[in-house]
Structure 1
Amino acid sequence: MVEPGRETEYTESDVIEVFRDREDYAEPLTASEVAEEIGCSRRTALNRLHDLQEETDVTSKKAGGRSRVWWIPVLMDE
């Protein structure tokens, strides 16, 4: 018998891949869009995004109401 609980662990690397595998690398995403792409709950995606914001270049800003968008800044050549 399978024990109840999480069967799949979603890592920060899974979230980074969502940003890197897009046509428009600079387009910000919502936590719901990230969750849909990797197949996890919005809360799980949001937790990973918060972790990434503390540890990497992933950044976010409020986009009205309680909405927040997330992205990895694109550095332009000078």
Structure 2
Amino acid sequence: MGAPGRDVEYTMADVTKVFENRDDYAEPLTASEIAEEVGCSRRTALNKLTELAEKTDVTSKKVGGRSRVWWIPVRIER
């Protein structure tokens, strides 16, 4: 019998790729949408998103009671 625990390690790069590989770069995503794309749990996606927000440009905003959306800001030169 194998060791208990996860078989797959998800990285911040896995989550970042979801943002980078979509048609509408400016559309915010939920942790559930990220989890579905990556193939991980919502909690894992949320943990990675929180870590990304602390270390990169990924940002988030509450949009309801417990709902939050995440995105990478699009910079527009003026």
Question: TM-score category by the smaller chain?
Answer: over 0.9
TM-score by length of 1: 0.97
**Cα RMSD, aligned residues only:** 0.6
Moved over 4 A (4+): none
How far does residue 65 in structure 1 lie from its aligned partner after superposition?
1.0
Structure 1 spans left out of the alignment, 5+ residues? none
| Partner SS, residue 60 of structure 1 | strand
Deviation at 1:2, TM superposition (A): 1.9
Q: Which residue of 2 aligns with 1:48?
A: 48
Report the count of equivalent residues.
78
Letter in 1 for 2:5: G
Q: Could you tell me how far 1:43 is from its partner in structure 2?
A: 0.2
Task: Answer yes or no: is 1:21 the counterpart of 2:21.
Answer: yes
* Whole-Å separation in 2 of the counterparts to 1:42 and 1:24: 22
Counterpart Cα distance in 2 of 1:17 and 1:23: 12
State the identity %: 71
Structure 1 position 3, deviation (Å):
1.6
Aligned to 1:33: 33
TM-score by length of 2: 0.97
- CA shift at 1:56, angstroms? 0.3
